[in-house]
Amino acid sequence: MDSEFAKRSGRVPVTYRIVVRGEVTERFAEPLEGVVVESAGDQSILSVEIVDQAKLQGTLGWLYDHGIDLVSVNPTEEANPDAVRPGHLGDEAELTGPGDGLIA
């Protein structure tokens, strides 16, 4: 479903690597649609394709709601480094301090 949306909208899906504490099974993470789970000792690594920030926030919110502790969230390396990732500001935008870019 997300891949179809990405094609229609022209967005480039990005695979995120989400590392969490504890053991998460594929069956437990099934509601996240398309997530691949790997065990790494006392942590689990979830790989999920993200089309936009709403999907990323929804995924992280689901983990939070289920009491899963996050260790890290990072996009994986892309084949096209010039592609604009969801939520990526690009080189032309640079924030230098707290509150930059916010309207009061």
Q: Is residue 32 part of a domain?
A: yes
| pLDDT band at residue 9 under the 50/70/90 scheme | low
* Domain total of the chain: 1
pLDDT for 70-90, tens place per residue? 999 999 975 445 555 445 444
| pLDDT band at residue 91 under the 50/70/90 scheme | very low
| Spatial contact of 73 and 18, defined as CB atoms under 8 Å apart | yes
The alpha carbon torsion through 22, 25, 27, 32 (nearest 10 deg) reads 60
Q: Is residue 37 part of a domain?
A: yes
Q: Is residue 55 part of a domain?
A: yes
The CA-atom distances, in angstroms, between 16 and each of 74, 86, 92 are 6, 11, 23
Triad 29, 60, 73: Cα angle to 5°: 100
Q: Is residue 6 part of a domain?
A: yes
| Spatial contact of 88 and 56, defined as CB atoms under 8 Å apart | no
